[in-house]
Structure 1
């Protein structure tokens, strides 16, 4: 096992850019082991090459085709409702580890010959399943058509077996109704030689020849041939079929208008819905029968029916032909059912065999595609038959990478070797913070705001303490904190079993991911609740009170307590219920929030000094940090000291009113030296000095850095070097100012650096005014940086100065949310107690059994509302406010956040994303 790795949480890990030379014979195996280790972030060496023109497009297309075949097989398995065995991805690939020997026997790592065999197996399976599925679908479609044909024959037969008669009544033509079934109650249309004739039909009947309004003969319907009938001496053609019930009325209207009424139509709606093979859904159908004259009108009807997705079937009016057709259909259905049953059994057997292996196939081909996608990032050297690539690697992990690649080439035993060269470069490495399950959640809070610049101070370390503590100041209640702590503790203790749950709710998954944050939030809330002496809005008398109440007083007389000592820890319970309780706690918490805000911003601002020293930026220390610190301390540091001093003075004992600090701060700038209510001796001159310091810091902050950079740039140009990079120095807090003279070898500008030099990996020669050549450094994208521009630097510094001065005021005031949220939480908790459970203990409440029921119900209501409103909703609000204080008020003092995340090539991450996508697909 590898030795313990160096932690990289206060700053990101040291990264190095390496160049890899991998022989083409072992390229796949080398990239596979690096993917298992998950420790290299590869760079694209073929940015100008089309993705379809890269070296391994053919292999990727082959594997893409295999993935499509596997998807088809998965869909076929789900279509047949076959249970897919749950495959744990953690058993097939472990989390990234530097111990590459863990992955030598991985089930997903196949040799090239094994992979070719697997591709052939999948091709065979896919061809068999596709053939059987198509055959099964064709058989089902044929079965469905035969069943519909049989239904049409049965229902239309009732029409041909009936006798059509004509009766005369009062000079009107009344026809006996001939129905296809006794349940059908539908209208029918007439057959007429001339639609201008005044022909009428009552119910279902056939109109006689044109002009015959009176008739007394009774005629029968006589079959004259296939699809023809002789009605009253007139030969009529007919068609029959099946159509959706919803579309029958449309068919009826269109046929009537198209044929100008020369038709007879009837239908029978089926009681049970039929399966539609095309859509796979069930729908209600109706069987129809249409009579009309001539083949041309029949052809028009057929086209109308086909446009409405109806189906036509041949129907014989002769009874013997009908019986023969029914026997033929029944025999076909019997044979078809046997073939269909055999085909389905064979298909199910084949799919069950595939289901046991299909998840492993998915993982295998996803790995192979990612391997060849990575290989496409390499340059192929055809002369040396090797692949050349670049990537970022943590410096501490470089020996393990070398050992893993050497082990792969040794197993091949072909005299091959891989080469890993470390490249010195000016390009900015990715940011990589090594976290564990405890610190990962806090780091995600920072990364949601921005990725830290390479090796600047990571705010995530301090956030572990300050984030839950700022939350607790606003959420300070011992009872509510205990509920939150117990809920988070349950998630922590059950993290293994909960982590194996697949279909977690999104909100629950968010709580589970931040379980350690919630645990600390609950613990800190219990502490601040103890300091506030607040338990579900009630006070606790743990120690003896420091206030003494008089023993004798008259009714209606106001009672004033006298101080007899100091309460041991937190707020004295004697304040609870007093008339001036709210006044006292408001003043206490408001000043406390100013103190906490000042401390939070001050230590955050000190991180800027740590960054400047680490990046050896003297100009930022003198031009930004020192004037900014003096400006902040001369105003708000002074306000903080006066708050503490005011608390230390017994104003009642000395018989003086306590001065207003807000008025003092305002008059400090409006009337320097003028003191209305003195706080301490010598207050006036001290405040004048502090105002002068604050005013001096403004031009200092505004002018020093731009002028210094301009002087540095002029000095560098005089020595024959390129000018100062305005892109990387002027607009960044962390300016690398080291320039080494080729003549003297001495550091010209940076007093913090002894032997630092800029050694770019990619340089180009540029000539100065005297024609001398000097190296020019390129940025991450290969573009030459913009030349030094004093105007741009000056504008940037003006914006920075204005923002800093204004933010010192607004950010300090922003911390008053600690007081406001704490007050709101306390008052809401008190109101909820008074409106619910306090009524259960009222002297007017009933006693005995009914009183117990009332206590039980009111307690349940109080507890549910406490959890839902005070813990969940108020807790979410306080958490968001704490998040804002860190992102805006604290991190703006030192955090640049212009880095990019370290995202190494890792099978573990790829397969975890694949697992998540599979679960989302199942959920949908």
Structure 2
């Protein structure tokens, strides 16, 4: 009896300890974190207080001062916060929420931005899902992705969704809003391509009349039954009635030359999107130069870069749009080749068989090539010569003036008060000062690398955007093959209706599994990686350095876990 009572008493004690132990462990971890932070403080000369130098966001300074005053008033010790000048580059703090966290994560994976540098994340919210959708455009596949992401968004507050430890699931759940926009944009581009599980849908009346081709060519009904897919010829009168109101005409899915038509359309579309995307990245660099006080880079770098990019590849976009607007489907057979014109533009030659698009075209092309070539020396020598000139001016300036300015700054009684502005929290030395400290050979070498990278990058990056065309065609053709090899075989079988209905169940199940595994997961991951590369290499390198570091504030979030 004594042993039994002892065991029951011990079990009660251990049960009580088990209830109190997690809270005690959490409290100990918090105390350890607090003491670890206090150990990083410096002790004053009087050994009566601690001094800590920390980074704090300007917006949070009033809250910090209020908390210090409230906590120090309870113990009778005054705690004060002063803003002091600093020559170190401050950390970067970008506030995110559930929606923007995944897009900011894409940018931070490339590199954390410098303090007050232009953040590409707000623009990535639109451009990343759109470029993904250009490669993944399908109404059915995009709708499945959208519904999957929507289910995660609606259930995001459930504890079971957050408690799942599967790494793949956590990746999908963390990027649920990214998947939501990717699926939504894919539905939009799917309507543009007129593809839903590789099938075209007739929303509006077609702009092509195949009956006119049959009447003029004398095709019989038996021939049309054996050859339902025809080569659309706009030169036959009455065949082309007008453009389709929205997207690709569904009759192209029945034409033998539909792949040739889509090749031309998607290739030109990729070049247009690529040039616009890169030019937008160069323009964003203007805000960095203006904010960091590098106005000379606007004339010596940004302007030559825009002239080089738009003078060559922007002109190519102009030729594409001009040909679309000025040549109809009837004139397509005799329309001049843009590619030949673009090649002759660099060779300063003229093709006798390829007529010009407009009068005075050769003069315009020669002027643009000369201007683009003239910007290369400016881009190569402009900034180094300017920095060397500034360096010589600083060397000629007497050293006493700089020491007096520093003494005034240090001895000023208000130097550590709260009347500093946000701009004074920048890095102490600007880019000009850092570049001026380099030797001339390093300055010229750095600028030569930048010039070669940009000029060659304009060519390679424009070609890199052709992946939008390649992956879009690959996705469409893979979807077409999956439909033809699986579903079409079952739907075109000559079996009885009952047997065919029974066979459709496993065949459709196999079609659904392969659609999800191949077209959604594999193709979606491929399009995601290519869109990621377009943002990192082709877009962000035009203006984003990404050589900063994140602000790591003190928090109990880790200890709470």
Structure-1-length-normalised TM-score:
0.54
Partner of 2:319: 642
| Mapping 1:371-520, distance limit 5 Å | 371-383=34-46, 385-412=48-75, 414=76, 416-497=77-158, 501-520=162-181
Shift of 1:426: 2.3
Shift of 1:839: 1.8
Separation of aligned partners in 2, 1:458 and 1:624:
20
2:245 corresponds to which of 560, 565, 568: 568
Separation of aligned partners in 2, 1:642 and 1:888:
26
Contact 1:821 1:878 in 2 (8 A): yes
Q: 2:471 aligned with 1:821, yes or no?
A: yes
Partner of 1:535: 196
Contact 2:387 2:436 in 1 (8 A): no
Larger Rg: 1
Contact 2:164 2:170 in 1 (8 A): no
Shift of 1:351: 2.7
Shift of 1:868: 1.1
Separation of aligned partners in 1, 2:153 and 2:390:
55
Partner of 2:227: none
Shift of 1:674: 6.5
Q: Deviations over 1:190-242 (max 9, x none)?
A: xxxxxxxxxxxxxxxxxxxxxxxxxxxxxxxxxxxxxxxxxxxxxxxxxxxxx
| Mapping 1:111-510, distance limit 5 Å | 348-383=11-46, 385-412=48-75, 414=76, 416-497=77-158, 501-510=162-171
Higher relative contact order (CA 8 A, sep 6+): 2
Q: Mark the CA change 1:347 to 1:853 in structure 2 (over 3 Å): closer, same or farther.
A: same
Contact 1:481 1:524 in 2 (8 A): yes
Contact 2:207 2:242 in 1 (8 A): yes
Shift of 1:657: 2.1
Q: Deviations over 1:503-533 (max 9, x none)?
A: 3311011100100000000000000000100
Separation of aligned partners in 2, 1:514 and 1:411:
45
Partner of 1:312: none
Q: 2:551 aligned with 1:905, yes or no?
A: no
Q: Which has the higher helix share?
A: 2
Separation of aligned partners in 2, 1:346 and 1:433:
55
Q: Deviations over 1:363-387 (max 9, x none)?
A: 1011111101101111112515000
Q: 2:356 aligned with 1:708, yes or no?
A: no
Partner of 2:279: 602
Partner of 2:507: 858
Separation of aligned partners in 1, 2:343 and 2:86:
53
Q: Mark the CA change 1:567 to 1:422 in structure 2 (over 3 Å): closer, same or farther.
A: same
Shift of 1:793: 0.6
Q: Mark the CA change 1:708 to 1:556 in structure 2 (over 3 Å): closer, same or farther.
A: same
Separation of aligned partners in 1, 2:52 and 2:152:
44
Partner of 1:622: 299
Contact 1:541 1:573 in 2 (8 A): yes
Q: Which has the higher strand share?
A: 1
| Mapping 1:37-48, distance limit 5 Å | none
Shift of 1:671: 2.6
1:833 corresponds to which of 470, 483, 498: 483
Shift of 1:699: 0.5
Shift of 1:434: 1.1
Shift of 1:828: 0.6
1:698 corresponds to which of 354, 376, 384: 376
Task: Report the 3-state secondary structure (helix = DSSP H, G, I; strand = E; otherwise coil) of the residue aligned with 1:421.
Answer: coil
Q: 2:192 aligned with 1:544, yes or no?
A: no
Q: Which runs of 5+ in 2 are unaligned?
A: 225-229, 234-238, 409-420
Contact 1:424 1:761 in 2 (8 A): no
1:586 corresponds to which of 247, 258, 263: 263
Contact 1:716 1:723 in 2 (8 A): no
Q: 2:553 aligned with 1:890, yes or no?
A: no
Separation of aligned partners in 2, 1:873 and 1:761:
44
Separation of aligned partners in 2, 1:603 and 1:758:
26
Partner of 1:878: 527
Q: Deviations over 1:457-489 (max 9, x none)?
A: 100010000000000000000000000000000
Contact 1:545 1:573 in 2 (8 A): yes
Separation of aligned partners in 2, 1:889 and 1:841:
45
Q: 2:473 aligned with 1:796, yes or no?
A: no
Contact 1:673 1:685 in 2 (8 A): no
Shift of 1:587: 0.7
Task: Report the 3-state secondary structure (helix = DSSP H, G, I; strand = E; otherwise coil) of the residue aligned with 1:451.
Answer: coil
Shift of 1:346: 5.7
Contact 1:423 1:761 in 2 (8 A): no
Separation of aligned partners in 2, 1:404 and 1:543:
65
Shift of 1:758: 11
Contact 1:651 1:658 in 2 (8 A): no
Shift of 1:813: 0.3
Separation of aligned partners in 2, 1:679 and 1:472:
33
Shift of 1:501: 3.8
Shift of 1:663: 2.3
Shift of 1:742: 11
Contact 1:839 1:845 in 2 (8 A): no
Q: Mark the CA change 1:645 to 1:655 in structure 2 (over 3 Å): closer, same or farther.
A: closer
Partner of 1:868: 517
